[in-house]
Chain A
Amino acid sequence: MKTIKLLFLSIFLISIVSCSNEDDNTVLLEVQTETVLNLHAPQIGGQGQPISGAFTKFSFETGTVTTSDTNWDIAFRGTTIIVNGGESLGTNDEPVRTGNAAAYIANGTMASVTEVDTDLLIADSTNGYAIPSGSGNGWYLYNPQLFLVTPIAGKILVFRTHDGRYAKVEILSYYQDAPENPNAMVDEGRYYTFNYVYQPNEDVTTF
């Protein structure tokens, strides 16, 4: 009798699990893979001078630059990238964080980083940004001989958006129109080109 009961119970459980899977599949939104070209991230000052100027805000949901004070996920100014979560470092013109965004940097390729390790996510704080600034610390290397900013190969930026979704980003270029071999003397800098994958479904941590 006991075994039969157990059998029934297992079948019942299996069916629930598989049902719920099917249910999810029908509602799940499609994962979005996009490329952003020439996101302009100007700044004032730098190289010893105080840095200021508005950050260029970006929303993964719309896939566009936004001026909204709340519906943004990440923002760019020069080589600095901030998230809409945590606290401001207190630099000039830094926007107020209103959301729950966070980030970390994974080693890998867009294809190999398939799951978010939520334990690693940190928000911006008064001590520093979630994406560390400075050459070799975060996403880029600066070559002082050529004055060139180059994205480090194998660095995937993993984000939680302001409203709890996830995205992964690979920055490809810091120069306008993403030239094959950028020249800091000729090519205009502070123009981001990046690939990203956005998981629009809440609480889904895979891409």
Chain B
Amino acid sequence: MSLNKNNLTLIFFIFFIGRSSAQESSGTPKDSLEVESLSEVLITGTRTLRQLSSLPLPAQIISKKQIQNINSVRLSNVLGEQTGLITVPDFGGGEGIQLQGLDSQYTLILIDGVPLIGRLAGTLDLNRITVGNIQQIEVVKGASSSLYGSEALGGVVNIITEIPKEGLDAEINYRQSSFNTSDLSTSLSHKKEQFSINGFLNRFSSDGYNLGNNPAINTVEPFENYTLNTKIGYELSEKTDAKISLRYFTQNQDFVASEALRGESDINEWNALLLFNHEFNSKWQSTFEFYTTRYKTNEFLDDDTGNRFSDNFFNQLMIRPEGRAIFKLNENNEFVGGIGLTHETLDRTNFSTTPLFNAPYIYAQWDAHLNDQLNVIVGARYDSHNEYESQLSPKAALRYEVNNKLAIKGSVGYGFKAPDFRQLYFDFNNTTVGYTVLGYNVVEEAIANLQNQGQIANILVPVSQFDSALKAESSVSFNLGFDYDISSSVKLNVNAFRNNINNLIDTQIIANKTNGQNVFSYFNISEVYTQGLEFNASWKPNNELSISGGYQLLYAKDKEAEAAFSNGEVFARQSPTSPAFQLSENDYFGLLNRSRHMANFKVFYNLPQWKLSTNLRVVYRSKFGLFDSNGNGYLDNFDSFVEGNAVVNLAVNKTLFDKYKLGIGADNLFNFTDAPNIPNVPGRIIYATLNFQL
């Protein structure tokens, strides 16, 4: 474990200060009302605090209370239980989120409004993020590049960490579960007059698990990680306040490629956010933000004689200053504007250069209540870039309150994802198999080199095709739905969505090598769409019982594939050795790893006389295809599919002496596994938790 000792000392020092200064103010009553109201407002949709129920966008809040009720410790578990969200394993070992049928690389993940980086192959691993110090998680669906720029194509997940409350607060949460997995979170926070501070430390470790047949290689190797987080706030005056937020994450994991090749893999990540808020008057308010983050990985493999076999590193840096202002013209008109610059560099194994991105941007938004019933939000953002075409991302949303029970809301937005460093600068030669992958911008030079070495048999795509820049992947997203409060205890919400994605980047063979292998590069190839319907209903007959259900219908298809099917160009066989027949349009299933149906059902029940809270959650996804098994290049109804599955989770929590909470439960109660197809489900997890709150 390469945990930096200085950081540890710093954190404990902060704890100590927090504790000593806390003693004066112990006994201050907690402002529970503030917590309540916070849980109903979100900032992600508009960058101003807005009531969830009145927002014209499809959005969702997952509160700390919900997270604690289900005894969840990592972000992946929490998100995986929400309607329309599904965690999917990536070949890099991470677990990302699929949202409205879009891959995890198209959802922006923020912590306190600033982005997390470190997407080695596109996916940001959600297991990296502890939920121990989370106030709430905000999910906004639909393209949101009008406020957030690149990556916010499918939606935005914003993790809001805890804000220190008046007085002293301390919390310890410990969870021990199957596979010798343990998670310990401690937090301490203090606020007195102008000054607030909190410190958070999380340790998460596991022996991993093995679903495969090879005892030498685990599906997930043993690991240990630490998250440290501290926030310091100071009110310089009644109108001005400053905040510093520091986060450090470090992980060490075994890295095993075969019986003979073993090594380690390390992640080190830090984030620093400095923030100034100033309120000029009742109308003007401004924020200056300076954000820096670095994500570093190192991994190596040694052979059985102790010689170094491979060494890989990844070192990404992002610096982002941003200024923004809110202008409240009157009760009904609010303007938000911002200007900033994203500076990014990446140093990585198999890269031809150490590339540098500079992307200044500017955005503005008008939020208007045109009358008592109609709320309109119009906004746009302009992103300039030194490596690819500039992007203008407009968005419009409106909400119309038909009566106090029914509201209709709709939005249209543009989203984009800039080509990442890998798609531009990768220069990778697989030494064991012999193929080559080239980033778009290095093709010309690399092909020339390979030709000089006599490695190219023939060129399939002329090098001149790479003269014009690779385009950003972009989408236009539509959402239309309604919220209907059937009664005070029954709520229904329905949203229909459609995302039209253009210029999707995919790999394609550009040349044959003399060794029989190929050279691949990245192209703007496909046009795909995802469309469907999301449906959420909840029933709260009293304070002790809550029943909810969610469902998503999804069609995710490639337009070119659709055309091939309708032109009768696609064939299949009933069995591998029966004569072939032509497939029709109805036989096209769609994109890989998409389930047509996803559903969840949750019951939360409290027994106040026993200080007991229980819940049962069922999460279902219907069949999906992971690869084209019959070799016609498309996923059709005659391919073999991964069967649909349902996972049942159960939790029981009991409060003792007011400050302690004891929990037991089982995630995946019926021990569902599907080793080759769903490697991120290890089987039944039995756990116990202990929580102490001051």
Contacts and interface: CB of A to CB of B under 8 A. Distances in A.
B577 A110 contact: no
B256 interface: no
A155 to B, nearest CB: 8
B580 A153 contact: yes
Given A153-B630, A153-B631, A154-B570, A180 B575 contact: yes
Contacts of B631: 141, 143, 150, 152-153
A182 B573 CA distance: 14
B577 A178 contact: yes
A178 B576 CA distance: 9
Contacts of B579: 109-110, 170, 172, 195
A182 B424 CA distance: 41
Interface in B572-617: 572-573, 575-582
A195 B460 CA distance: 34
Contacts of A110: 579
Main secondary structure of the interface of B (DSSP, over half): loop
Size category of the A interface is 20 to 34
A181 interface: yes
Contacts of A141: 631
B685 to A, nearest CB: 30
B560 interface: no
Nearest to B632: A153
B674 interface: no
A34 B632 CA distance: 26
B571 interface: yes
A172 B576 CA distance: 7
Contacts of B420: none
A153 B577 contact: no
B677 to A, nearest CB: 14
B569 interface: yes
Contact of A109 (B569, B575, B581): B581
Interface string A169-197: 01011000011111000000000010100
Interface string B25-59: 00000000000000000000000000000000000
Given A152-B631, A153-B631, A154-B570, A112 B582 contact: yes
A15 to B, nearest CB: 40
A141 B628 CA distance: 12
B641 to A, nearest CB: 16
Interface string B472-493: 0000000000000000000000
Main secondary structure of the interface of A (DSSP, over half): loop
A107 interface: yes
Contacts of B573: 153
B571 A180 contact: no
B585 to A, nearest CB: 16
Nearest to A175: B577
B570 A193 contact: no
Size category of the B interface is 10 to 19
Nearest to B581: A109
Contact of B571 (A154, A173, A179, A182): A154
Interface in A137-177: 141, 143, 150, 152-155, 170, 172-173
| Residue with the highest number of chain A CB atoms closer than 10 Å, among B573, B579, B631 | B631
Contacts of A143: 631
B577 A172 contact: yes
Given A107-B569, A109-B582, A112-B582, A154 B576 contact: no
Contacts of A152: 631-632
B7 to A, nearest CB: 44
A107 B578 CA distance: 17
Contact of A182 (B570, B577, B578, B581): B577
A180 B577 CA distance: 6
A134 to B, nearest CB: 8
A152 to B, nearest CB: 6
Contacts of B570: 154
B675 to A, nearest CB: 15
Contacts of B575: 180-181
A109 B577 contact: no
Nearest to A177: B577
Interface in A112-152: 112, 141, 143, 150, 152
A143 B632 CA distance: 13
| Residue with the highest number of chain A CB atoms closer than 10 Å, among B569, B570, B580, B582 | B580
Contacts of A153: 571-573, 580, 630-632
B576 A180 contact: yes
Given A152-B632, A153-B571, A153-B630, A172 B578 contact: yes
Interface string B627-650: 000111000000000000000000
Closest 7 CB pairs of A and B: A154-B571, A153-B580, A153-B571, A141-B631, A173-B577, A178-B577, A172-B577
30 contacts: A107-B569, A108-B571, A108-B582, A109-B571, A109-B579, A110-B579, A112-B582, A141-B631, A150-B576, A152-B631, A153-B571, A153-B573, A153-B580, A153-B631, A153-B632, A154-B570, A154-B571, A154-B580, A154-B582, A155-B571, A170-B579, A172-B578, A172-B579, A173-B577, A179-B577, A180-B577, A181-B575, A181-B576, A182-B577, A195-B579
Given A154-B570, A154-B582, 14 more contacts: A143-B631, A150-B576, A150-B631, A152-B631, A152-B632, A153-B580, A154-B632, A155-B580, A170-B579, A172-B578, A178-B577, A181-B575, A181-B576, A195-B579
Interface of B: 569-573, 575-582, 630-632
Interface of A: 107-110, 112, 141, 143, 150, 152-155, 170, 172-173, 178-182, 193, 195
